[in-house]
Structure 1
Amino acid sequence: MAAAQKKTRAEQYLEKDDFFRRNAFLIINEMVAKSPARPSKLVDEVLHSIFFLGVIKDKPKYSPKDILDDEDVLNKLKGRYPQPFETFSSQLPKRSPFSCVLDMVVNLNGQQNEDQIKNRLKELIVDNKLQGKQLVSNTICVSQPDMTPKSVRYYGVSMSTSGRNPGQIVVAASCLSNWDSYVADAVVTYYPLKVKKSYFDGTIKLPKQARCEAFTLREGAPMAPCRSCGNMFGLTTSENQQWAYGNCAEAESLSNLLKNEKEMRKQVKQPSDTCTPANRKRAVENVQKLLKQYLDKDSKEDIKLKFQWDNQFYIPQGN
């Protein structure tokens, strides 16, 4: 896309009141412009994730053509990234779109530059005038194995979904395909009704020296863990607010920490006697069943755009 054309298209989208289409175009535009790799795995993934949310969102539902709203842009992206256009209505994303944006910002700014990463995400949201909750995360979380200066930082953002069903679907997909098993176990313990399962408790206790701290993306203010994160991960909090389990930035951040810090992971505890392989299998099967129910419900709401899951989770292509 030529610079003048990009500006014109972006300006046109800024005039729209439809926050999903507006934010979708601006996020895609930013990812394409800032991605150093051609083709980019992160651009490929964000396209698929946005297209998927477009087809399962509450009415109106959107196809890729509806979202991009420009034949030239559509054809160029389709030529470079064919797979998202082919599988958005049959395969599930492993995470929500703003997680791809986060990865791009971390890659460009360096994993240890926490303040730069937070500021760049804030600028991206404010400068692009991303509005509402559609496709935009509200919080970022930073986790470390300990508080020493050289301790590696791992990031996560809250689910950039809007509406109950899309959030439940992507949380389930993340548990089944993406998150570290300790994080997935903790989320599955309460999924989807904020009530602990009587037969399975996979909640965890982190080592005392670990850091897990959340901040608002727009203001940069520290945020205490909500009651849900306290229940799942043993984080100290006085908050009583229970958000949907798995929706908070802590889940993704801790998952990235535990995937990469093997020695620290050995110190994580799952103290409940009900956390057994057999009970875990039962809990996971319950999540799979509920996930299919959510997808069937959404696919029947609009005969024009249907999602028919092929039981595959999307694997992005690129560099």
Structure 2
Amino acid sequence: MDGQERARREEFLKTQEPLRRNAFRIIKAMLDWCNQTPGSKHFVDEMLHSIFFLGKVNNAPYTPESIVGNEEILDNLKEKYPGPFKFYSTQLPRRSPFSCVMDMVVMHNGQEKEDQIKQTLKDLINGLEERFLVSSTICVSQKSNNSVRHYGVSMSTSGPNPGKIVIAASCFSRWDDYVAGAVMTYYPDKVKKSYFDGTIKIPNNVRCQAFNLREGDAMPPCRSCGNLFGLHTTETRQWPYGNCAEAESLSELLKKEEEVKNQARPTSPTCTPENTQKAKESALKQLQNVLNMVRFKTWDKDFYNPKTE
């Protein structure tokens, strides 16, 4: 390696260091919340696995040991949370790390404390560097004004490949089948499938509002969310389908609110069981391709299950 190439490589590695620093700060915050929130250990467990996986597939790979750094904390984590260390190189996460952080904060504060939840996440984010492991938006969905709030955050992945992996994993293992079907209508690109349309229409009286986590401002749905969920928007910008906070938030709503789910069901004649299966097989094939691209060739076809209390 010549001097110029070495200098370029060193400069590139510096740009990746925020992943390690952010991971350590997030882990410490989650351990603190876990100590104050009974029944929340599984959020820490799942978050660790997701972070370790993203460290492994990062352009500059990081091991769990290099992410945690501190030997005392590392030994403690290995003892209390052995699963993430054992499975980060063979199983896929069901969601991105910040989704676990959000669930912890919701449990810690109570789902009705919306402003407090947003402020807690904002305070955490303001101590983190941009890009790595940090969600930019949160979404709140409600059946009606006084009903339970269902939260979601945008993908806290960096770069197109990790995003594609976690979006597909969420479709297969975590999201409500209607949300998964809508996302798979376009996955992995921003092009609608000719043979399958699983998009849905959320009723107009359902609240689905996204907010910028750093600034706190309300945000309109992007064009992708308009296409997926029938949300009214004048935005023209398209994010990768499934990347936005609306996907997770509406998924949680549809899992709990049967009446809303019935009203939102996909109506396209192409949304048949056969075509749904074909879209799933296509998404699985694309997922496998992306895993090969990031040199993750040890997937055992399982998605990580965190240890419960």
Give the alignment's TM-score, normalised by structure 1: 0.90
- TM-fit CA distance, 1:71: 1.7
Question: Could you tell me how far apart the structure 2 residues matched to 1:269 and 1:285 are?
Answer: 21
1:101 partner amino acid: V
- TM-fit CA distance, 1:37: 3.9
- Report whether the alignment pairs 1:159 with 2:149: no
User: Map of 1:166-245 to 2, 5 A cutoff?
Assistant: 166-245=162-241
Question: Could you tell me how far apart the structure 2 residues matched to 1:228 and 1:66 are?
Answer: 37
Counterpart for residue 132 of structure 1: 130
- TM-fit CA distance, 1:268: 1.2
Question: Could you tell me how far apart the structure 2 residues matched to 1:43 and 1:79 are?
Answer: 13
C-alpha distance after superposition, 1:105-138 (max 9, x if no partner): 1001111111111111111112xx2011100000
Counterpart for residue 27 of structure 2: 28
Counterpart for residue 303 of structure 1: none
2:224–2:238: 8 Å Cα contact kept in structure 1? yes
1:48 partner amino acid: H
Counterpart for residue 304 of structure 2: 314
- Report whether the alignment pairs 1:260 with 2:259: no
Question: Could you tell me how far apart the structure 2 residues matched to 1:30 and 1:63 are?
Answer: 20
Say which SS state the counterpart of residue 138 (structure 2) adopts. Answer: strand
Question: Could you tell me how far apart the structure 2 residues matched to 1:264 and 1:228 are?
Answer: 21
1:228 partner amino acid: S
Say which SS state the counterpart of residue 290 (structure 2) adopts. Answer: helix
C-alpha distance after superposition, 1:133-181 (max 9, x if no partner): 10000000000112x3x21110000000001100000000000110000
Unaligned segments of structure 2, at least 5 residues: 1-13
Question: Could you tell me how far apart the structure 1 residues matched to 2:82 and 2:130 are?
Answer: 29
Counterpart for residue 85 of structure 2: 85
- Report whether the alignment pairs 1:49 with 2:39: no
Change (3 A) 1:195 1:17: closer
Question: Could you tell me how far apart the structure 2 residues matched to 1:193 and 1:138 are?
Answer: 21
Change (3 A) 1:138 1:70: same
CA RMSD of aligned residues (A): 1.5
1:16–1:22: 8 Å Cα contact kept in structure 2? no
Counterpart for residue 5 of structure 2: none
* Equivalences, count: 294
Question: Percent identity at matched positions?
Answer: 57
Question: Could you tell me how far apart the structure 2 residues matched to 1:277 and 1:39 are?
Answer: 37
C-alpha distance after superposition, 1:267-305 (max 9, x if no partner): 113121111110000000000011111111211xxxxxx
Say which SS state the counterpart of residue 119 (structure 1) adopts. Answer: helix
2:46 partner amino acid: E
1:194–1:244: 8 Å Cα contact kept in structure 2? yes
Change (3 A) 1:231 1:16: closer
Question: Could you tell me how far apart the structure 1 residues matched to 2:92 and 2:263 are?
Answer: 32
Give the alignment's TM-score, normalised by structure 2: 0.92
1:55–1:307: 8 Å Cα contact kept in structure 2? no
1:144–1:210: 8 Å Cα contact kept in structure 2? yes
Say which SS state the counterpart of residue 219 (structure 1) adopts. Answer: coil
- TM-fit CA distance, 1:99: 0.3
Counterpart for residue 66 of structure 1: 66
C-alpha distance after superposition, 1:194-233 (max 9, x if no partner): 0000000000011121111100001100101000000000
Question: Could you tell me how far apart the structure 2 residues matched to 1:269 and 1:169 are?
Answer: 26
C-alpha distance after superposition, 1:216-261 (max 9, x if no partner): 0011001010000000000000000000000000000000000111
